[in-house]
């Protein structure tokens, strides 16, 4: 297969695999590959390379938020360790100490719409940006600063670097109401874009980082409840007539991803470029070793899928009463 045909397949199926907003796969057009198409194909190749070698994945998580100034102030004290850690605001002013924390609280309380001690709506969102252990903490903070400037422009926010734990991470607290009066209301699509932006900023500072969806990586974050596993093992769980549930969304997503990977693998394997054929072999090994793709293949064949349960890390609750929102995790 010629290089321009391979590039066409990579762009067609790679965009569906890595950019979920592109749901419709159109028929292949007559190849007219200019600079833009080659550039797109190069980006897709980079994403494929990073995915199959399992590059470090960024984590962007909304961990909660305050519904009043009392909760927001408590979170400021928590992330800054009562002022012992440097706290940076949206103007890049860095301060420390309890007096600095109290000053920031007053700025948020009286700047814009008044925020009372207690309220009925969320007045701030707590965001955590994280990378695996070993990541350069200073560069992580620079990337987080650029992320906030790009995604949270117009909002007041503060950020604090935590590097005393296993992995370095940034705590961001952003005021829900922007200077324009528009309110922040992050959705799952926003979280995915935030991950992409954060990964891009990290790469700009020379840190290898990716923001690939779990289903694209062949991973599943969904686990069957423990009570159901034990009931099945003990023979107490029997299917009831007419109560069969629809195929889980994660399984359907895994099947869709497997189809995309299959098209990409086939095109690269038929390429006249040695590097493409070598990448196709690595994709084959990656797909065969991925649990989601194994499960999707078994479901297609109508086989019973063995279910395993792995330990799940439970995020620690912060003192601002904000609990992690499972719908807003990566």
pLDDT value at residue 236: 74
pLDDT value at residue 259: 87
Which residue in the block uniquely carries the two structure tokens 């292949």?
A: 28
- What's the distance, CA 44 to chain centroid? 18
**Entry pTM:** 0.73
Distance CA 181, CA 175 (A): 11
Residues of the chain below pLDDT 50: 22-28, 30-31, 33, 223, 242-247, 304-324, 326-327, 329-330
Burial, 325: exposed, middle or buried (Cβ in 10 Å; 0-12, 13-18, 19+)?
Answer: middle
pLDDT value at residue 149: 96
Which residue in the block uniquely carries the two structure tokens 């700025």?
A: 107
What are the boundaries of each domain within the chain?
Answer: 3-55+235-301, 59-209
* Residue 141 structure tokens: 């903070």
Q: What is the 3-state secondary structure (H, E, C) of 177-188?
A: ECCCCCECCCCH
pLDDT value at residue 304: 46
pLDDT value at residue 226: 58
103: Cβ contacts below 8 Å, ≥ 6 apart: 95
Distance CA 75, CA 204 (A): 30
* Residue 216 structure tokens: 């694209």
Distance CA 38, CA 284 (A): 24
Dihedral angle sign, alpha carbons of residues 65, 324, 19, 203: positive
In this structure, the number of other CB atoms found within 10 A of the CB of residue 14 comes to 24
The CATH code belonging to domain 59-209 is 3.30.930.30
124-145 pLDDT, tens digit each: 999 999 999 999 999 999 999 9
């Amino acid at each position: 297969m010629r290089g321009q045909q391979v590039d066409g397949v990579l762009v067609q199926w790679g965009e569906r695999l890595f950019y979920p907003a592109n749901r419709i796969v159109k028929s292949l057009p007559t190849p007219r590959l200019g600079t833009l198409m080659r550039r797109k194909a190069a980006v897709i190749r980079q994403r494929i390379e990073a995915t199959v070698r399992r590059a470090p994945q960024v984590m962007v998580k909304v961990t909660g938020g305050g519904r009043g100034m009392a909760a927001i102030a408590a979170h400021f004290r928590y992330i800054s360790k009562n002022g012992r850690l440097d706290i940076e605001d949206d103007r890049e002013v860095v301060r420390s100490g309890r007096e600095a924390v109290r000053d920031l609280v007053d700025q948020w309380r009286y700047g814009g719409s008044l925020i009372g001690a207690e309220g009925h709506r969320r007045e701030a969102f707590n965001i955590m940006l994280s990378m695996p252990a070993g990541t350069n903490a200073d560069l992580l903070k620079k990337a987080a600063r650029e992320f906030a400037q790009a995604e949270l422009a117009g909002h007041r926010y503060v950020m604090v670097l935590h590097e005393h734990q296993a992995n370095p991470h940034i705590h961001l607290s952003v005021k829900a109401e922007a200077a324009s009066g528009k309110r922040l209301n992050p959705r799952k699509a926003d979280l995915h874009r935030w991950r992409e932006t954060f990964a891009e900023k990290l790469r700009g500072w020379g840190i290898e980082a990716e923001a690939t969806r779990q289903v694209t990586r062949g991973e599943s974050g969904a686990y069957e409840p423990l009570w159901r596993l034990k009931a099945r093992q003990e023979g107490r769980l029997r299917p009831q007539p007419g109560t069969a549930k629809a195929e889980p969304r994660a399984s359907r997503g895994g099947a869709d991803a497997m189809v995309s990977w299959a098209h990409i693998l086939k095109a690269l394997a038929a390429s006249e470029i040695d590097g493409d054929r070598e990448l196709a072999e690595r994709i084959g090994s990656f797909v065969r070793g991925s649990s989601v793709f194994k499960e999707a293949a078994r479901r297609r064949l109508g086989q019973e899928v063995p279910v395993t349960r792995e330990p799940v890390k439970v995020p620690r609750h912060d003192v601002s009463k904000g609990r992690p929102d499972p719908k807003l995790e990566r």
